[in-house]
Structure 1
């Protein structure tokens, strides 16, 4: 017997077929699967979904009929689900108790809007015009109740000149008082200054990715100063060697990564700060006239800096090293040399009874060394991307910003004074 073909009838096919489902050859039409009514003993056990209750409106009684929305009728306010909720009054709002902001208390933006005033909306026309420019950070806006905060005046060098003068006088007293009244105290001051300089240098070079070990550098620096004080030039070289070897051994504990970079930075710091500073210890430790040797050296550096600042600020037009220190000029360098030569000639003639021209030569050499030391630190700071080694001294920056000239000047002064004024004993 061939199977029945449900589509073998004569009913139309495709789009001509009516919406009514085609009749299939089932034995009983009452059990067709798409029929909403299913009856019969075989389907009585099939679970049926419960019928959905009709949806009523919120304002309709439970027993009332449901009126479906009429197409084309506008949506009335009473048809909204929230139409029966009580309205929110203005005094019930969470911000009802806040004090209204008055127009005269609206803060003015700290910057001027871009564009012309004609481009601003009309609502902003009544606002007060903001002051031109941006306020510097940390300054409050002046008003009738709060006057403007006074800022310390700065010189042409970009420094706070009164603070710089005060700090300079304090540093001078800290050096000269123990130098002439309690010489071991000068050794303690020198060792402390070298320790601070090592810390500033190690902190600055970390910006380049190098991490020199600080503990052996500090210990080796103090040891170098002490050896130079008590045993002279040979012990100074020994202190430098011990410091470098100590940093290498200490750095081995951190592994091989970056070892060469860190040891190079540590060696630079050891030579630049404690080794050069050891010559100041040998100057002060000279028997008989050690404090005077330190005095003429420091005076030559101070005269060089003062003469260079005065000449550069008033006559400086030709940059000396614009890529290293743009503010240094050849006119300032000439002022440094002249001031140091004149002052050193007078001091050495009065203190050591040496011919003035030898004193002038001493002043020129000290001034050139001081300028080279200043340029060397400026080059280091420019390479590291810092303006000052630290902010320890107001108006000066860091202590190394004051020691840069002296560290290059003391070896020069030590060698020249050893020839011009031989050590007695």
Structure 2
């Protein structure tokens, strides 16, 4: 703003944006003028402005001390903008305070924040151990007391697994027909139990045919996607689980299933312990970031040692062959775990369900076993054939 009166009016033809005379200009954020001289005082008390101010004149201005109608503000205290502003009726209502999420509590005096008890590997370890021991006890009791009870447990596990995977497929808008898949999966388990491996293949074909016919009623839209999901579920869950039924049928079938369970459990436990305490090099960071090569080495060693002992005492297999069987079971178990992890990442889900505390879904526990039972069936048929 130019001033038009008094001596010296020709000295300044514009309002100096770097002058501290006008308090409304004190927060100007422009660049310094070309004739700016360093060494001026710095007004650091003005919020949003840390630039220099004009020096305080030691003598009165040539126009008689009048500062163009403004009082000298160089000695006044700086007040934060809007600090003394009174609220008006048209001001928007203040935002309500944000409440913490459910199950969480913010820290405060005498009130620490709540935390979820998880292990270094991300599990609720007490719940995981309790659920794992319970599932193992159910399997062992059914195996060594009444084998048909094991068949019922296996059929129930297959039905729950099919339901979990079918439900997870909805994340990618796939709609596999759950009812024929569950019915066909239970049929496949029973055919493998009573009629052998060839009947298991026939059950797989019958299940896929029933799922296809069922899906035809919904029209051609997304037919290929739904049929692909149905094929994946039928092969992944009931077909692979059918080899557990094939293992349990012989007179020493309970011992054969126990050898597989020991190898898988030791592989999981050894990999977990080695990964937590020694894990440094990720194995598959894009699929399962917590898996490491050190953990994989721990899985191999634990499964090989445990299977060598169990195969020798339960199936009369030499230690070396038992160790080889254990190493193969460990590789199959790790591949099964990685396969399910990749499937869950592709579907965008963390767990298949929340059925088991500390584990997620039942499929989050069966993933390793499903890949291990066909491997065990093949190797035991070579090194410990049924007589």
1:204 to 2:135 alignment: no
Q: Closer, same or farther in 2 for the Cα pair 1:277/1:120, shift >3 Å?
A: farther
Q: Are the aligned partners of 2:105 and 2:114 in contact in 1 as well (CA < 8 Å)? A: no
Alpha-carbon shift at residue 332 of structure 1 (Å): 0.4
Select the residue among 68, 91, 103 that pairs with 1:138.
103
Alpha-carbon shift at residue 153 of structure 1 (Å): 1.7
Aligned to 1:153: 117
Cα distance in 1 for partners of 2:81, 2:294 equals 51
RMSD: 2.2
1:246 to 2:210 alignment: yes
Aligned to 1:180: 144
Alpha-carbon shift at residue 139 of structure 1 (Å): 2.8
Aligned to 2:326: 363
Within 5 Å, give how 1:53-64 maps onto structure 2: none
SS of 1:327 mapped into structure 2 = strand
What do residues 134-184 of structure 1 show as CA deviations (whole Å, max 9, x unaligned)? 84532356889x976865521011111100100110111111111101111
Select the residue among 189, 214, 222 that pairs with 1:225.
189
Cα distance in 2 for partners of 1:408, 1:301 equals 10
- Gaps of at least 5 residues in structure 2 are 1-79, 86-97
Length-normalised TM-score, structure 2: 0.73
Select the residue among 194, 207, 220 that pairs with 1:256.
220
1:277 to 2:249 alignment: no
Cα distance in 2 for partners of 1:138, 1:120 equals 39
SS of 2:283 mapped into structure 1 = strand
Aligned to 1:3: none
Q: Are the aligned partners of 2:159 and 2:182 in contact in 1 as well (CA < 8 Å)? A: yes
Cα distance in 2 for partners of 1:178, 1:356 equals 28
| Number of residue pairs aligned between Structure 1 and Structure 2 | 297
Q: Closer, same or farther in 2 for the Cα pair 1:170/1:253, shift >3 Å?
A: same
Cα distance in 2 for partners of 1:121, 1:387 equals 49
SS of 1:281 mapped into structure 2 = helix
Length-normalised TM-score, structure 1: 0.67
Q: Closer, same or farther in 2 for the Cα pair 1:135/1:242, shift >3 Å?
A: same
Select the residue among 314, 322, 329 that pairs with 2:277.
314
1:391 to 2:354 alignment: yes
Cα distance in 1 for partners of 2:375, 2:82 equals 67
Q: Closer, same or farther in 2 for the Cα pair 1:251/1:148, shift >3 Å?
A: same
Cα distance in 1 for partners of 2:129, 2:375 equals 26
Cα distance in 2 for partners of 1:122, 1:421 equals 90
Cα distance in 1 for partners of 2:172, 2:185 equals 22
Cα distance in 2 for partners of 1:121, 1:378 equals 56
SS of 1:326 mapped into structure 2 = strand
Aligned to 1:103: none
**Rg bigger for which structure?**
1
- Gaps of at least 5 residues in structure 1 are 1-117, 124-132
SS of 1:395 mapped into structure 2 = coil
Aligned to 1:267: 231
What do residues 296-316 of structure 1 show as CA deviations (whole Å, max 9, x unaligned)? 001100000000000000111
Alpha-carbon shift at residue 209 of structure 1 (Å): 1.4
1:293 to 2:238 alignment: no
Cα distance in 2 for partners of 1:315, 1:335 equals 9
Q: Closer, same or farther in 2 for the Cα pair 1:121/1:242, shift >3 Å?
A: farther
Aligned to 1:419: 382
Cα distance in 2 for partners of 1:121, 1:372 equals 64
Cα distance in 2 for partners of 1:119, 1:378 equals 55
